[in-house]
Amino acid sequence: MSEHAGLDITPNHFLQIDAALCTRCGRCAAVCPMGIVAPAGPNVLPFVKDEDVARCLRCGHCEAFCPTQALALNFRLEERPAPPPKARTLPPPDLALHLKSRRSIRRFLPDPVPRETILEILDAARYAPSGTNQQPVQWRVVFDSKAVRKIAALTVDWMRLRAKTDDPLGHLLVQLVAGWDAGFDVACLGAPHLIVAHVPADNPIAPVDAIIALTHVDILTPAYGLGTCWAGFVSAAAAMHEPLQKELALPAGRNFAYALMLGRPQFKPRSIPRRNPLEVTWG
């Protein structure tokens, strides 16, 4: 028997089933992406065969879709939260309005965001989808505003070098360098923090997973009264400029994926600007 009250452990201890709650509906088997959950029968609860355990993605679909919360995947049980009261906690129009209201922030207040707030946001981003649930994204938070300023300076150094090449954006880089020399932070926009997502160098799909996770951060941040801006120039420089790579000091075997500036907006948006018309092709 499990130390978790009311849960009967299946023979290989991989799934924990509360026999009193399990209705043997078969939903856990139906939603398993790998098809490894054997459905319940009249005299057997759902289980995963020993030889199939290694194939489990630990995505938790079997647990999440159980209508009676009878099943628990035997993985990090100490983090298992109470089930949400409803599948949807936001009316669709409210959520759509939140998405439409999201703006890139290009003027930040200098005061720092509490570390606890940043950790809350990144913790929620852990639940972003990733290919085969590999969860390859890790984070480097450049918290010190002076360190962010140094990264901005190194990015501008890269711009100076690129402006002397046949880069098709050379004319723009010249203007940006002039802006920096005039005292404007063209790379990090004076943001107090920089959120860097990094991924395994040997995982070809991980950069996409990083963008998905960063998008979760981007969408969630306004709910905390904060703002973000995608750090495109920093991200471009990080892929090419060795001094910047050394400054970022990512762990060995991991690559810079992309970055977001983070801070408190100096100005808050009051309306939603127009966008191009929706274009959809139906197949």
Burial (Cβ within 10 Å: 0-12, 13-18, ≥19) of residue 258? buried
Residue 277: per-residue pLDDT: 95
Residue 7: per-residue pLDDT: 54
Residue 91: per-residue pLDDT: 87
CA-closest candidate to residue 106, choices 211, 12, 229, 8: 229
User: Would strands 227-230 and 37-38 be described as parallel, antiparallel, or unpaired?
Assistant: unpaired
Angle, CA 147 vertex, CA 146 and CA 150 arms, to 5°: 90
Residue 3: per-residue pLDDT: 41
pLDDT, one tens digit per residue, over 168-227 is 988 999 999 999 999 999 999 999 999 999 999 999 999 999 999 999 999 999 999 999
Q: Half-sphere exposure (CA, 13 Å, Cβ side) for 143? A: 10
Backbone phi, then psi, for 70, in 5-degree steps?
Answer: -85, -15
Rounded distance between C-alpha atoms, residue 209 and residue 257, angstroms:
9
Residue 126: per-residue pLDDT: 95
pLDDT, one tens digit per residue, over 103-161 is 999 999 999 999 999 999 999 999 999 999 999 999 999 999 999 999 999 999 999 99
Residue 227: per-residue pLDDT: 96
Angle, CA 74 vertex, CA 69 and CA 76 arms, to 5°: 100
Residue 193: per-residue pLDDT: 98
Domains of the chain: 8-79 (3.30.70.20), 96-263 (3.40.109.10)
pTM score > 0.75 for this model? yes
Residue 19: per-residue pLDDT: 87
With beta carbons less than 8 A apart as the criterion, state whether 224 and 123 touch. Answer: no
Residue 80: per-residue pLDDT: 79
Rounded distance between C-alpha atoms, residue 100 and residue 94, angstroms:
10
Residue 13: per-residue pLDDT: 78
pLDDT, one tens digit per residue, over 57-92 is 989 889 888 999 889 888 888 887 776 666 567 788
pLDDT, one tens digit per residue, over 237-246 is 999 999 999 9
Q: How confident is the model at residue 267 (pLDDT cuts 50, 70, 90)?
A: very high
CA-closest candidate to residue 229, choices 209, 257, 258: 258
Q: For residue 50, is pLDDT > 60? A: yes
Residue 272: per-residue pLDDT: 92
Q: How confident is the model at residue 97 (pLDDT cuts 50, 70, 90)?
A: very high
Residue 1: per-residue pLDDT: 35
Can you tell me the mean pLDDT for 31-59?
89
Which residues does 75 contact at the CB level (< 8 Å), separation at least 6? 58, 60
Q: Give the Å distances, CA to CA, from 111 to 66, 84, 193, 234.
A: 45, 34, 10, 22
* The pair of three-digit structure tokens given for residue 102, joined into one six-digit string: 């999201």
